[in-house]
A and B are shown apart, each in its own frame.
Chain A
Amino acid sequence: MTATPLLPLDPALVDRARRLAARAAQPVVDLARSHTTVSVERATLRLAGLTGADPDGIPWVNRLADAVAEQVGIEHGIALPVFHALADHPDLTRLAHAAAAGGVRFAFPKGAAAEAARERATAAVSHGFDRIDRSRRRRDALVAEIGDPPQRPWIYLIVATGDIYEDIPQAQAAARAGADVIAVIRSTGQSLLDYVPEGATREGFAGTYATGENFRLMRAALDETSREVGRYIRLTNYASGLCMPEIAALAGMHRLDMMLNDSMYGILFRDINPIRTFVDQRFSRQVHARAGIIINTGEDNYLTTADAVEAAHTVTVSQLLNEHFAHEAGLPDRLLGLGHAFEINPDLPESFRMELAHALLARQLFPDAPLKWMPPTRHMTGDVFRGNLLDGFFNLAGVMTGQSILLVGMMTEAVVTPWLSDRDIALQNVRYVLNACAGLAEDFHPPADGFIAKRAGEVLGEAVDLLGTIVDDGLLDAIADGTFGIMKRPADGGRGLDGVAKRAEDYWNPAAAILDRDAAAAPAREEAAR
Chain B
Amino acid sequence: MSRIVRPYGDTTGDGMVQLSFTLPVPHDKRAEGAALQLAAKMGLDGAMLVHAKAIGEGYTFFVVYGASTHLVNLDDVKVVERDYPQLSPKEVNDAIRERLGRKLCVVGACIGTDAHTVGIDAILNIKGVAGEKGLEYYRELRVVNLGAQVAVPDLVNRAVDEEADAVLVSQVVTQKDAHLHNTREMAAAFREALPPGKRPLLVVGGPRFDEHAAAELGVDRIFTRGTTPSDVASYLVHRLVTSREAEPAA
Interface residues of A (CB under 8 A from B): 162, 173, 176-177, 187-189, 191-192, 205-206, 269-271, 304-307, 378, 382, 414, 419-421, 424, 486-487
Minimum-distance CB pairs A-B, first 9? A189-B113, A173-B56, A424-B55, A421-B61, A421-B22, A188-B113, A205-B175, A206-B175, A206-B173
A405 to B86, alpha carbons, bound, how many Å?
Answer: 46
Docked-complex contact A188 and B56, CB < 8 angstroms: no
Nearest-CB residue, chain B, relative to A192: B149
Can you sample 8 A-B contacts with CB below 8 Å? A188-B115, A192-B149, A205-B113, A205-B175, A205-B178, A206-B175, A304-B118, A305-B117
Query: Do A421 and B127 form a contact, CB below 8 Å, given A205-B113, A270-B149?
Result: no
Docked-complex contact B55 and A205, CB < 8 angstroms: no
Docked-complex contact B225 and A382, CB < 8 angstroms: yes
Interface centre among B127, B175, B176, B207 (most CB of A within 10 A): B175
Interface residues of B (CB under 8 A from A): 20-22, 53, 55-57, 59, 61, 113-115, 117-118, 121, 125, 127, 147-149, 173, 175-176, 178, 207, 225
Docked-complex contact B61 and A205, CB < 8 angstroms: no
How far is the CB of B205 from the nearest CB of chain A, in Å? 15
Docked-complex contact A270 and B55, CB < 8 angstroms: no
Residues of chain B within 8 A of A191, CB atoms compared: 115
Residues of chain A within 8 A of B148, CB atoms compared: 269-271
A420 to B121, alpha carbons, bound, how many Å?
Answer: 30
Residues of chain B within 8 A of A304, CB atoms compared: 118
A378 to B118, alpha carbons, bound, how many Å?
Answer: 8
How far is the CB of B18 from the nearest CB of chain A, in Å? 11
- Identify whether the interface residues of A are mostly helix, strand, loop, or mixed: loop
Residues of chain A within 8 A of B113, CB atoms compared: 187-189, 205
How far is the CB of A20 from the nearest CB of chain B, in Å? 27
Residues of chain A within 8 A of B178, CB atoms compared: 205
Interface centre among B22, B59, B117, B149 (most CB of A within 10 A): B149
A419 to B147, alpha carbons, bound, how many Å?
Answer: 29
Residues of chain B within 8 A of A271, CB atoms compared: 147-149
Residues of chain B within 8 A of A487, CB atoms compared: 147
Interface centre among A177, A188, A189, A414 (most CB of B within 10 A): A188
Residues of chain A within 8 A of B225, CB atoms compared: 382
Docked-complex contact B20 and A188, CB < 8 angstroms: no
Residues of chain A within 8 A of B121, CB atoms compared: 305, 486
Residues of chain B within 8 A of A420, CB atoms compared: 22, 55-56, 59, 61
Docked-complex contact B173 and A205, CB < 8 angstroms: yes
Nearest-CB residue, chain B, relative to A487: B147
Docked-complex contact B61 and A305, CB < 8 angstroms: no
Docked-complex contact A188 and B55, CB < 8 angstroms: no
Residues of chain A within 8 A of B56, CB atoms compared: 173, 176-177, 420, 424
Nearest-CB residue, chain B, relative to A423: B55
How far is the CB of A123 from the nearest CB of chain B, in Å? 40
Docked-complex contact A162 and B127, CB < 8 angstroms: no
Query: Do A189 and B149 form a contact, CB below 8 Å, given A176-B56, A307-B127?
Result: yes
A176 to B149, alpha carbons, bound, how many Å?
Answer: 36
Docked-complex contact B175 and A162, CB < 8 angstroms: yes
How far is the CB of A27 from the nearest CB of chain B, in Å? 25
In the complex, besides A189-B113, A189-B115, A487-B147, 16 extra interface pairs with C-beta distance below 8 angstroms are A188-B113, A188-B115, A192-B149, A205-B173, A205-B176, A269-B148, A305-B117, A305-B118, A305-B125, A414-B207, A420-B61, A421-B20, A424-B55, A486-B121, A486-B125, A486-B127
A307 to B53, alpha carbons, bound, how many Å?
Answer: 39
Nearest-CB residue, chain A, relative to B146: A271
How far is the CB of A482 from the nearest CB of chain B, in Å? 10
A173 to B114, alpha carbons, bound, how many Å?
Answer: 29
A205 to B59, alpha carbons, bound, how many Å?
Answer: 25
A421 to B55, alpha carbons, bound, how many Å?
Answer: 7
Residues of chain B within 8 A of A162, CB atoms compared: 175
Docked-complex contact B175 and A269, CB < 8 angstroms: no
Docked-complex contact B149 and A424, CB < 8 angstroms: no
A205 to B207, alpha carbons, bound, how many Å?
Answer: 17
A487 to B114, alpha carbons, bound, how many Å?
Answer: 17
A306 to B127, alpha carbons, bound, how many Å?
Answer: 8
How far is the CB of B16 from the nearest CB of chain A, in Å? 16
Docked-complex contact A188 and B147, CB < 8 angstroms: no
Residues of chain B within 8 A of A306, CB atoms compared: 127
How far is the CB of B114 from the nearest CB of chain A, in Å? 7
Residues of chain B within 8 A of A307, CB atoms compared: 127
